[in-house]
Copies of this chain bind each other. A is one copy, B any other.
Amino acid sequence: MQTRQPGLGRAARTEKTRTAIVTAALDLIAAAGYDATTTEAIAARAGVSPRTFFRYFPTKESVILSGEDDFYQAFRGVFRAQPDTLTDIAAMREALVTLAPGVARRRRWTQVYVRAVETSSALRGQDQIKHDVNTASMAQAIAERRALPEPDEDCELLAAIGHLLVSRALRKWAMGPARVSPAELLEAEFARLDKLLD
């Protein structure tokens, strides 16, 4: 796969190799699941040696985890920018819906990721850890909005519920038909939550 490309520059070439590995990994994982995909197979498909795989990624997991963007970091800013007239939940909904289109551009990755997480308990565990970090980050944002020095239990629960809704919407989006946007699904989850409280 990797062909001589003289005029490319060192950085560009390594970047290309990196992309080749990620692409190969995504293809194989999409086809066979995460556990059934060996690093050796990924390397072979990317046209590099098995050893090189580990020069680009420290672990097998990192090749798929690296596709993450900074969604929750962005959340913090957008959430804080919501008007004070909104309740925390409403502000959360607005912020998340605002951010949703950014996610929509990554459908392929999200699909493979969701599938990968479902086919591997090790990966699922990593995903959970990420969830916990993200939830903590959301709790922090909520505490800021409430002018608390530190997130309390209420902030944490709220963040956990918000995160739950995001996860559910994301999974549905990845697995459902393409015409439904993440924003719509997210709105639907929030609507359901509202209804639950009567």
A residues apposed to B, CB below 8 Å: 87, 89, 120-129, 153-154, 157-158, 160-161, 164, 168, 188-189, 192-193, 195-198
A134 to chain B, nearest CB (A): 15
Please give, as numbers and ranges, the residues of chain B lying within 8 Å of A124 by CB-CB distance: 124-125, 128-129
> A125 vs B117: C-alpha distance in the bound complex, in angstroms?
9
A81 to chain B, nearest CB (A): 22
Given contacts A123-B125, A161-B164, 9 further A-B contacts (CB under 8 A): A120-B125, A121-B122, A122-B122, A124-B128, A124-B129, A153-B192, A154-B196, A160-B164, A164-B164
Please give, as numbers and ranges, the residues of chain B lying within 8 Å of A89 by CB-CB distance: 196
> A164 vs B124: C-alpha distance in the bound complex, in angstroms?
17
Assess the A192–B87 pair: CB atoms within 8 A. no
Q: Contacts A121-B126, A123-B125, A128-B124: A168 and B164 contacting too (C-beta < 8 A)?
A: no
> A121 vs B127: C-alpha distance in the bound complex, in angstroms?
9
Please give, as numbers and ranges, the residues of chain B lying within 8 Å of A153 by CB-CB distance: 188, 192
A180 to chain B, nearest CB (A): 14
Select which of B120, B129, B196 is within 8 A of A157 by beta carbon.
B196
A157 to chain B, nearest CB (A): 5
Q: Contacts A121-B122, A122-B121, A122-B122: A161 and B196 contacting too (C-beta < 8 A)?
A: yes
